[in-house]
Amino acid sequence: MSESSEDRKKLKAEAAAKKAEAKALRPWFKKKRFVIPAAFVALGVITSVSGGSSSSKGTASTNSKGSSISNSSISKIGQEARDGKFSFTVNSVKCGVKNVGSYYFTDKPQGTFCVLDLMVKNIGNEAQSVSSDNMYLFDKDNRKFSTTNTVMLDLPNYNLWYQDINPGNFIQGQLIFDLPKGVIPVKAELHDSMFSDGVEVSLK
């Protein structure tokens, strides 16, 4: 095995360890096992207070977490879309990519790679971590596709894999998705955290 390949494996291992350490150091109240039960309790209280009534203004779609997103708020490529402390701008999407990597270390897809070029800006008043685990693509049949994180580490710029962004700062990078051949994504769903409602961006 070449020295370059060994170095790339070490880089992947170090990046994975850094991400795991950052997640472990999250405050207890931000961890999934605490937030999800609290969210269900809060939802139950809200439902009981409102008497289960609902009203709608215009049409809406439902995101992958079961929350409603107004169709009027769905952005397009090149337009800003906001969720929580982040604003997202999808610059482009390119599918049919046959491999990702360098001359010495190349990854090939199970189907075909789709590369989503994305800018993320912190519009909040404190630092926030962006993670590729919170970004998804959907096809016309509403099938949900997650990022292929190990392949993203072979990009020259893998900022979106996991990165802290201070208020007012922004980063730009690519998200890699491994989709079946012939599948064309119609929308992206982007989240500022694993607990946020998310925002949709049309890729049509």
Domain layout of the chain by residue ranges: 3-202
Burial (CB count <10 Å: 0-12, 13-18, 19+), residue 40: exposed
Residues 176-193 pLDDT 10s: 999 999 999 999 999 999
Cα–Cα distance measured from residue 32 to residue 27, given in angstroms and rounded to the nearest whole number: 11
pTM: 0.67
Residue with tokens 């590729």: 132
Sign of CA dihedral 23, 24, 30, 33: positive
Residue with tokens 């109240």: 29
Whether 12 shows a pLDDT value over 70: the answer reads no
Arch. (CATH architecture) of 3-202: Sandwich (2.60)
**Quick one: tokens of 29?**
């109240």
pLDDT band at 58 (very low <50, low <70, confident <90, very high): very low
Q: Strand pairing of 106-107 and 100-101?
A: antiparallel
DSSP 80-134: EEEETTEEEEEEEEEEEE--EE-SS-EE--SSEEEEEEEEEEE-SSS-EEEEGGG
Residues 6+ apart with CB under 8 A from 72: 58
